[in-house]
Amino acid sequence: MFTFGFGARKCLGQYSAEAMMKYFFYHLIETYELGVPEGDEDGDVLSRDTWVPITKARICMKIL
């Protein structure tokens, strides 16, 4: 949210940028089936029981 600024000098394009991102993600999820592979190149198994971001995680995308 800091990107758009605060107060009277706030960016006028904030709401249109947010709407465009929602539209993009909606169509991404509508078009592709997203998933997480069971293991990565190093053979490490990714835990799905955590809220901590995994920086080396990969996402599989299949066209529906």
| pLDDT, average across residues 1-5 | 75
Extract the tokens encoding 50: 């955590």
Query: Does residue 56 sit within a domain?
Result: yes
Look at residue 9 in the predicted model and tell me its pLDDT.
Answer: 85
Q: Is residue 45 part of a domain?
A: yes
Q: What is the pTM of this model?
A: 0.57
For 11-61, the pLDDT digits (tens) are: 889 899 999 999 999 999 999 998 877 665 555 555 667 677 666 667 888
Q: Is 5 a member of any domain?
A: no
Helices (H), strands (E): how many in the chain? Answer: 1, 2
Number of compact structural domains in the chain: 1
Residue 37 main-chain phi, psi, to 5 deg: -65, 155
| Domain boundaries, position 28 | 11-63
Task: Report if residue 54 sits inside a domain.
Answer: yes
- Output the pLDDT for position 37: 72
